[in-house]
Amino acid sequence: MLNKVLVVEDEQLLAENLQGYLQAQALEVRIAHDGAQGIVEAHDFAPDVMVFDYRLPDMEGFEVLDAVRQNRNCHFVLITGHPTAEVCDRARQLGVSHILFKPFPLAELARAVCDLLGMEREPNTAVSTSEGFVERRQSRTESFPLQLYDGSWVLADRRRSTSASEAPDDEQLLTGE
């Protein structure tokens, strides 16, 4: 039986990337895009770890944690783009195991989740070594594809080009054409 992870994140692209990466770690992963859905999913899915965003469209992430904790004993990982002392202190008070500040490497999230579950990470998805970074940049096909945010697509296309003539010029970079 796979360990279960619930990701409560309102940014769809980020949530899908987190889901795909954690699934590559041999974890069963579900996504909720707001706090209310996260509470329902936590009840139905019964996760071992819940990864949650601090700011959600309908409520604060800590409200989700409180509601889930009433019915479910699991580990919590906070992801936030708001690294204030107040958020960190409150997370510690509520027993959050790990806090990751956006943007964070996916490998850090995988390490935190796998550590909490007492499991080894899948060796094919380890990305923290410099050799792995160079190998991925030189490779034309990725074993783990990521969707990218606006602006990053052009850079990703440029890296895949085989010659300088295929690289976009400055006007293409600005217009996105």
What is the separation, in whole angstroms, between the first and last Cα of the chain? 46
pLDDT at 161: 39
SS3 55: strand
pLDDT at 2: 86
What is the distance between the alpha carbons of residues 101 and 120, in angstroms, rounded to a whole number? 23
The pLDDT of 123-143, averaged and rounded, is 44
pLDDT at 53: 97
Sign of CA pseudo-dihedral 85, 64, 9, 17? positive
If you count them, how many residues does the chain have?
177
Domain residue extents for the chain: 3-125, 130-175
Q: Specify the range with the lowest mean pLDDT, choosing from 1-10, 61-70, 149-158.
A: 149-158
Q: What CATH number has the domain spanning 3-125?
A: 3.40.50.2300
- Is 100:109 a contact under the CB 8 Å cutoff? yes
Return the half-sphere exposure (C-beta side, CA atoms, 13 A cut-off) of residue 161. Answer: 13
What is the distance between the alpha carbons of residues 108 and 45, in angstroms, rounded to a whole number? 24
- Is 5:22 a contact under the CB 8 Å cutoff? yes
Q: How confident is the model over 82-125, as pLDDT tens digits?
A: 889 999 999 999 999 899 999 899 999 999 999 999 987 655 44
Instruction: Give me the phi and psi of 75, to 5 degrees please.
Output: -85, 155
pTM confidence score = 0.71
Contacts of 130 (CB under 8 A, 6+ apart): none
One-letter amino acid identity for 77? V
The pLDDT of 54-68, averaged and rounded, is 96
